[in-house]
Structure 1
């Protein structure tokens, strides 16, 4: 609910503070007194796009502050949370417009963009009038209004879910078809590459192992001859035989050498032992270096094959096993592709059928709701002296989407036999106002709680009993909420729970506009003025008292 509005230096308003209340709030005043300035100022602080020259002449800046009370579950709280703004039971919006056109907004003393203000305004205020393109006159919102009226949340959720499932199924099929088409283009390559890799069957680390074995065999080939010669020189035909002969000869002479050969014999025995160990080591080495010449050839052939295949596929040799797995999987996907596509196509068909069923149910529910809405609006038009007009909620086929398969447009035919057309193109000013009011009355139970409804001269062009019917419907709308009405109708003004008069004052060369709250005596005079004009007669005052008495 809008609790307070403070305006400073905006157009012809110097400083103005208004305290609004629940129920029906009416603002009256002569034409040109500044009633529209109040709405311009409220629209400015709510972030609406409007006239640019709002700052009062001679002032550096204009400023508007609006204070709203928020109920615990008010939709504005979600907007505040989403924008990271502080949340409280009191919402204070403030916006400044400098003389050079710069605009700055605050929400609960935190800087906020015009977009955030507009999102908040959608939860706080509804403006209805002949020039309202944000609410009931906007055909883009008619489908949502009908869904709200018909309480179609469940059907709408089911349709949205079916649309998402349908979109997911189609996307999966498209991706699979694209992947399969790409794989088909390289089918010959895949089959040849997989066969080649499977035949060679390279293993991770195999290149290093083969290279080490190859180097070892190449080295053995070069050194084995020298090692064999060394082994031969150490053997019986070499050092071992010579030392054995020397030891035998010394042993035979030792008994006659008076012990002089004991040490040489011992040393020679030790040398024989070391020589034997060296010979065994050489023999072991020769055994280790023993290889089949064909093994070197086989090793080199496999090593070169692995390296050649790696170069061919532009990968490292150790990456060949992983490449083999990847190419095999792509080939398997190709082989299994048609079967998978078949399953995906069946999934798309099932998702299409599910969406068609959900959209059909939603469409039928909309058609039923449209019939109820048309009857309800027609019932409201009769007391508004428009019983010959026809209101029709038109459903037409539209591009399928998450919201269903039909567009919704509110149309009217103002006279029997006249062609029906969009609400904002067919009805005249006074007729349009009454159509809007009738529609709003029918939708009042479905509107969001806590929204302030503003009607800008919605009673223009009507009077007498029709104006009284308009006022009573506005009064009913305000019964459990808050309605602000800018009106020239005394019948409407008399039904207000709270009354303000907008006045224009001229002081020298300066014109200002102000708003005066009216008590019962002043209301009588204001309604009498609205009835009779500049000269208020006793008859007009009597008529005003009668209107106020109900």
Structure 2
């Protein structure tokens, strides 16, 4: 609910402080007095895009402050929390407009963007008028209005969840199919590469072993010659024979020298044993470098084959073994991919069935609600002197989406036999106002704490029709807040609170001001609205008659 509006140096207003109240608040005044200025200023502080020249002539900047009361469950609280602002029981909006056109906004004394203001305005204020192109007249909003009228929150939640699940299932299927298409496109390459790798069967660390063996083979002849010479030098014709001769000679002399030769003889015995070990080791080495004529060629062929295959795949030779495992795994995906695609297709089909069921249930509920809304509208149009008009909620198939697969449009026929069409194309100005008011009355199921504003929605009607308009506005205001800018005395008389907008000349400046009216002043204002500039006693009497009992002083 709008608690107050403080305006400084905006358009024709130098300083204005207004305190609004619950119920029906009416603003009246002569044409051109500045009633629309109040709406311009309110729209400015709410971030609406409008006229740029808002700063009052002679002022450096204009400023508007609006204070709203927030109920515990007001939807503005969620917006404030999401945007990083605290949410108390009251909300203070302030916006400044400089002469250079720069606009600065604050929410509860913290800087805020116009985007956040506009998001808040959607849940704080609802504007209706003959130029209402964002609300009831916009067919894009009609489905949401019908759903709110029918109370389809649970059905919408279910349908949106099923739609999200369907999109997720379709996305998974699409991604899997794209992956399978990619794998299938390289299937021939994969199978050829795996066959090559399987034929070669490279082992981990095999390249290093082959390279070492190849170098050994390449040096084999020279190594065999060196080993043979060493063997000959140590064997029976070499060191072994000489040491044996020395032992024999020393043994012959040992008897004469008693034990003096025992240490040399023992040392030479050990040398003979070590020499035998060395000879056997050389013989083993000679055997290890004995290769068949084709062994070197075979080793080189395998080593070069591994290196060539590694270059082909852009990996190291030691990585060929793991590459084979990876390529075989990709082939396994292709071989098993059809099963995965079948499973995903089944998931999509199940998700489609759930969504179809939810959407069908939503369509049926909307069709039933449309009939109820049409009947309610016909009942509302009768007292508004439009009993010959016909209102129809038209449902047509639409592309599936999170809110179902229905398009909804409100169409009217103003006279029997006339073609039906969109509200703003078929109805005249006065008819349009009454259609909008009747529709708003029917759709009102608690407005979430919004302040509803009707800008001359009663234009073009009078007498009993104007009284019916006023009574419906009064009903809408029960338990909430409605602001009405009106030229109708019947509507003004039904207001719980009444302000008059007037122009005054101060020096060389023309200024607008808003004056709260007492009971006597209300009589004068309503009499002026009835009689014009020349207010008569008859007009005052008529004004008293219009005012509800207790709203006007008795005479």
User: If the length of structure 1 is used for normalisation, what is the TM-score?
Assistant: 0.93
Identify the range of structure 1 (295-304 vs 52-61) with the bigger mean alpha-carbon deviation. 295-304
CA distance in 2, matches of 1:122, 1:501: 27
Please, which runs of 5 or more residues in structure 2 have no aligned partner?
A: 550-555
Who is 1:503 aligned against?
502
1:537 — aligned with what?
536
1:260/1:439 Cα in 2 relative to 1: closer, same or farther (>3 Å)?
closer
2: CA distance, partners of 1:157 / 1:48:
30
Aligned residues: 549
d(CA) in 1 for partners of 2:351, 2:266: 102
In structure 2, the residue matched to 1:180 is: 180
On the 8 A contact 2:531/2:539 being kept in 1, the answer is yes
Equivalents in 1 of 2:160, 2:368: separation in Å?
Answer: 20
Q: Deviations over 1:47-73 (max 9, x none)?
A: 111111111111111111111111111
Q: 1:489 aligned to 2:485?
A: no
Deviations 1:415-443 (A, max 9, x none): 11111111122211111111111111111
Secondary structure, aligned partner of 2:54: coil
Counterpart of 2:447 in structure 1 is: 448
Shift of 1:543: 1.5
What is the 5 A alignment of 1:129-208?
A: 129-208=129-208
SS in 1 for 2:444: helix
Deviation string, structure 1 residues 487-525 (Cα, Å, up to 9, x no partner) = 111111111111111111012320001111112121111
Change in Cα spacing, 1:387 to 1:259, as seen in structure 2 (3 Å) is closer
Q: 1:73 corresponds to which residue?
A: 73
Which residue of the partner structure matches residue 42 of structure 1? 42
Offset at 1:363?
1.3
Please identify, of 311-320 and 332-341, the stretch whose mean Cα deviation from structure 2 is larger: 332-341
| Contact 2:14–2:56 under 8 Å retained in 1 | yes
State the alpha-carbon separation in 1 of the partners of residues 339 and 548 from structure 2.
Answer: 82
Distance in 2 separating the partners of 1:397 and 1:267: 113
The aligned counterpart of 1:518 is 517
In the TM superposition, structure 1's runs of 4+ consecutive aligned residues that sit over 6 Å from their partners are: 290-293
1:474 is matched with: 473
Query: In the alignment, which residue of structure 2 is the partner of 1:244?
Result: 244
Match of 2:109 in 1: 109
Over the aligned positions, Cα root-mean-square deviation in angstroms equals 2.4
1:328 corresponds in structure 2 to: 328
What CA distance in whole angstroms lies between the structure 1 residues aligned with 2:157 and 2:536? 61
- Which secondary structure state, in structure 1, belongs to the residue aligned with residue 367 of structure 2? helix
1:221–1:518 distance in 2 versus 1, CA, 3 Å: farther
Alpha-carbon deviations, 1:318-371, whole Å to 9, x = none? 332333233223323333444444444444344333333322221121111111
Distance change (3 Å), C-alpha of 1:208 and 1:153: farther
Counterpart check, 1:128 vs 2:143 = no
Structure 1 residue 82: Cα displacement: 1.4
CA drift of 1:382 comes to 0.7
Distance 2:330 2:229 in 1: 59
Q: Deviation per CA, 1:131-183, whole angstroms, max 9, x where unpaired?
A: 12221112111111111111122222232233233333333333333333333
Instruction: Say which SS state the counterpart of residue 549 (structure 1) adopts.
Output: coil
Give the direction of change, closer, same or farther, for the CA distance of 1:131–1:296 in structure 2 (3 Å limit).
Answer: same
- Residue segments in structure 1 that go unaligned for 5+ positions in a row: none
1:100 aligns with 2:100: yes
**Range with greater deviation from structure 2 (337-346 or 96-105):** 337-346
TM-score calculated relative to the size of structure 2: 0.92
Q: 1 CA distance for matches of 2:517 and 2:232?
A: 134
By how many angstroms is 1:387 displaced?
0.9
Q: CA offset at residue 102 of structure 1? A: 1.0
Question: Do the aligned residues in 1 keep the contact of 2:494 with 2:548 (CA within 8 Å)?
Answer: no
In terms of mean alpha carbon deviation, does 248-257 or 68-77 score higher?
Answer: 248-257
Which residue does 2:553 correspond to in 1?
none
